[in-house]
């Protein structure tokens, strides 16, 4: 592994560990934002930047969506599945008209809804950690550790793009309702909904090797669960150590499989937020969810030619 790769990988481990350590120290679970792992993978580790967006827009979109998720939890009196679907639908509209390909904004809004988060600590932490990522990316570019890639806003959506968006909302709604109504809500975990948005575009490279993609997401979810269960529950070590181990394991998996998929990284950190009794079944739910969503993306979007490239 090259020196620059070591630096980028080590920085991601340190960022995630510091986030979880701070959450433990302050007894604030809302500080843990799994999508930070996805942002770090896409902005710092992947050979090519995962999204077409600017640093300023990354911070703004995370701020808007994380606050929006808390507002839905606080003020929308609806069943959980409908709250999640509303968050997903709002993000789809924002995603389509933001002139970016920054899909992680979806997780920022859906996560607090799924977990029932009403504290404003969550959006503050999400924005703060995103600022850390973009500042580190800027520093790495200046030092030659990361390559600088200019941001070119994509064109505004046309009719076909809007129809694709409506189809994504409909298909995601089926998965969300099924997952929540059966008690297996993690089949529609926020990073999986992010992945589905990306899979539904023909330009997404991950859909060219669906089996490997599904396996990577499942393995990262299992790695996070094993680290949480083995290190925190059985050995009673700090959660930050489990998060560090899960981060390192998922980075090694991505490098070994030669596929840097940001949502897979987030799936490795999500177990750190789950109740103890929910952790063992998380990898199974993750595998079911990603398989269903990948299958729908390949089936329903296979003959659609997008008018614009988003990845």
Q: Both tokens of residue 212?
A: 């490997």
Distance CA 86, CA 36 (A): 23
Instruction: Specify the pLDDT at position 34.
Output: 94
Instruction: Specify the pLDDT at position 207.
Output: 86
- What parts of the chain have a pLDDT lower than 50? 304-311
pLDDT digits (tens, 9 = 90+) for 89-99: 999 999 999 99
CA angle, 225 then 230 then 232, to 5°: 90
Instruction: Specify the pLDDT at position 196.
Output: 96
Contacting residues for 73 by C-beta, under 8 A, at least 6 apart: 83, 112, 113, 116, 117, 118
Contacting residues for 59 by C-beta, under 8 A, at least 6 apart: 127, 130, 131, 134
Closest CA to 287 of 185, 226, 214, 200: 214
Per-position DSSP letters for 197-266, written without gaps between them: HHHTSTT-GGGGSHHHHHHHHHHHHHHHHHHIIIIIIIS---HHHHHHHHHHHHHHHHHHHT---HHHHH
> If you count DSSP H runs as helices and E runs as strands, how many of each does the chain have, helices first?
12, 0
CB 91 within 8 A of CB 176: no
Instruction: Specify the pLDDT at position 304.
Output: 47
3 state SS of 47 = coil
Distance CA 31, CA 307 (A): 38
Overall pTM surpassing 0.75 (yes/no): yes
Distance CA 85, CA 87 (A): 5
> CA dihedral in degrees (99, 105, 109, 110; nearest 10)?
110
pLDDT digits (tens, 9 = 90+) for 206-260: 888 999 999 999 999 999 999 999 999 899 999 999 999 999 999 999 999 999 9
Find where tokens 């806003």 sit. 153
What is the 3-class SS of 82-135, one letter each residue?
HHHHHHHHHHHHHHHHCCCCCCCHHHHHHHHHHHCCCCCHHHHHHHHHHHHHHH
CB 254 within 8 A of CB 281: no
């Amino acid at each position: 592994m090259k020196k620059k790769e070591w630096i980028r990988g080590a920085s991601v481990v340190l960022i995630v560990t510091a986030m979880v350590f701070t959450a433990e120290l302050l007894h604030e679970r809302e500080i843990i934002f799994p999508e930070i792992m996805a942002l770090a993978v896409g902005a710092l580790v992947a050979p090519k930047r995962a999204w077409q967006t600017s640093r300023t827009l990354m911070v703004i979109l995370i701020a808007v969506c994380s606050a929006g998720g808390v507002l839905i939890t606080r003020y929308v009196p609806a069943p959980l599945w409908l709250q999640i679907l509303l968050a997903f639908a709002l993000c789809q509209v924002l995603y389509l008209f933001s002139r970016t390909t920054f899909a992680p904004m979806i997780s920022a809004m859906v996560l607090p809804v799924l977990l029932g988060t009403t504290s404003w600590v969550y959006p503050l932490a999400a924005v703060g950690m995103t600022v850390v990522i973009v500042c580190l990316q800027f520093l790495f570019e200046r030092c030659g550790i990361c390559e600088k890639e200019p941001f070119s806003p994509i064109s505004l959506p046309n009719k076909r793009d809007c129809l694709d968006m409506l189809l994504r909302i409909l298909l995601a709604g089926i998965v969300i309702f099924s997952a929540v109504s059966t008690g297996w809500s993690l089949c529609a975990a926020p990073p999986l909904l992010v992945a589905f948005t990306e899979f539904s575009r023909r330009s997404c490279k991950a859909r060219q090797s669906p089996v490997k993609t599904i396996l990577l997401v499942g393995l990262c979810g299992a790695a996070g669960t094993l680290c949480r269960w083995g290190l925190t529950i059985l050995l009673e070590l700090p959660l930050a150590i489990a998060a560090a181990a899960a981060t390192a394991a998922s980075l090694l998996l991505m490098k070994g499989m030669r596929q840097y998929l940001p949502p897979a990284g987030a799936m490795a950190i999500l177990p750190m937020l789950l109740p103890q009794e929910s952790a063992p079944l998380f990898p199974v739910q993750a595998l079911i969810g990603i398989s269903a969503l990948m299958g729908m993306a390949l089936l329903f979007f296979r003959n659609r030619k997008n008018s614009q490239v988003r990845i």
